[in-house]
Amino acid sequence: MRVTCTRFSDCLNLTGMKCEYCAVIRTLGTAGDKYYQTLLSLKNQTIPPKKILVYIAEGYSLPKETIGIEQYIYVKKGMIAQRALPDKEVDTDYILFLDDDLSFSPNTVERLFAGLDEKQGDVISVNIFPNHELSFIRKVYGIIVCGTFPMISSKYAFKVRKNGCYSYNNNPKNGIYLSQSAAGALSLWKFSSYKTIHFEDEIYFDKFRYPLGDDQLMFNKAYVNGQKLLIDYSVKVNHLDSGSGHVKQAKEKLIDNVAISYLIWYRTCFQVYGVKCIPAYIRKITVLALASALSQMLGIEGNILYYCKGLAKGFNMSKSEDFKSLPPFKV
């Protein structure tokens, strides 16, 4: 039976019951002890999940690590396919999405529920990759190579800029901020809010071996479609990084990353805000192309030819019938 509730405080008053949620993990079953740490972290929560649903890619063996209460569902392999789940397994009002390589304290979910209630949000995530703590050199590298800029804001954790890149809060306080995007390793959603974004529409991006930017597709789609997205800087989660899905070949990785970046810009910016995004994108690719050429000259990672091939691949894919037939990003 589903417990229906709209506020965390209401849940606490429902015959002593707390809000129920299903924990949903995507995996290839190869993370080993890191996956086991994720399961143990869930088991030890002050608000334990009603179910632990593990969406494992077809063709992969079930992991030997277990706490005895997981339910496995085989689905097509893909960062998006393994998260764009159907309704039938989830029977709670909340859903906790997790990667398979995390460890976190026993009160993590309780604090996320409290944050959702306090700020009346629809989804809440954590700052699992603390960009603001990077060294000055790493931040400059991020600006030049990735187009990610630090920002000063008392309101936002992350903003998605018109060139498709994001800016991060460079001096956040321990607390809850609004956001336009997030990292997807651990997040708590109202299930009704998740269903409104129709994440299954983005499965097109699983054409790539590793669709870098799937988090932005998921969380920015929630923001663009009117969901209140929150980041709680006070909740800490340890990302153990199994790295099971990453592309190893440098050439393929660079070409695909540039192509994906173009397509994500097209979906999240151009389709939403129109032609006013084009100048920002042109400035971005000019700077990144020059940075790629300079990196190649210095013998660092980068290749101007591969960068141009990636842009061409992304542009051509955006003209394909498959891509053009995708439903609008803003639902």
**243-255 tens-digit pLDDT:** 554 444 577 888 8
Within 13 Å and on the Cβ side, how many CA atoms surround 4? 1
Residue 42 has a pLDDT of 97
Residue 142 has a pLDDT of 80
* Residues 6+ positions from 202 with CB-CB distance below 8 Å: 80, 84, 214, 217, 218, 221, 267, 326
Q: What is the mean pLDDT of the chain?
A: 88
Residue 173 is which amino acid? K
Q: How confident is the model at residue 302 (pLDDT cuts 50, 70, 90)?
A: low
Q: What are 218's two structure tokens? A: 């998921």
Residue 319 has a pLDDT of 97
Helix (H) or strand (E) holding 120: none
Was domain 8-131+153-239 assigned CATH 1.20.1640.10? no
Average pLDDT over residues 178-206: 95
From the CB of residue 317, how many other CB atoms can be counted at a distance below 10 Å? 18
Q: How far is CA 216 from the centre of its chain?
A: 6
Instruction: Tell me the pLDDT tens digit for each residue of 2-35.
Output: 444 444 445 554 334 358 999 999 999 999 999 9
Strand partners, 178: 156, 230
Q: How confident is the model at residue 298 (pLDDT cuts 50, 70, 90)?
A: confident
Q: Residue ranges of the domains in the chain?
A: 8-131+153-239, 250-324
Instruction: Tell me the pLDDT tens digit for each residue of 132-186.
Output: 888 888 888 787 777 788 998 989 999 999 999 999 999 998 899 999 999 989 9
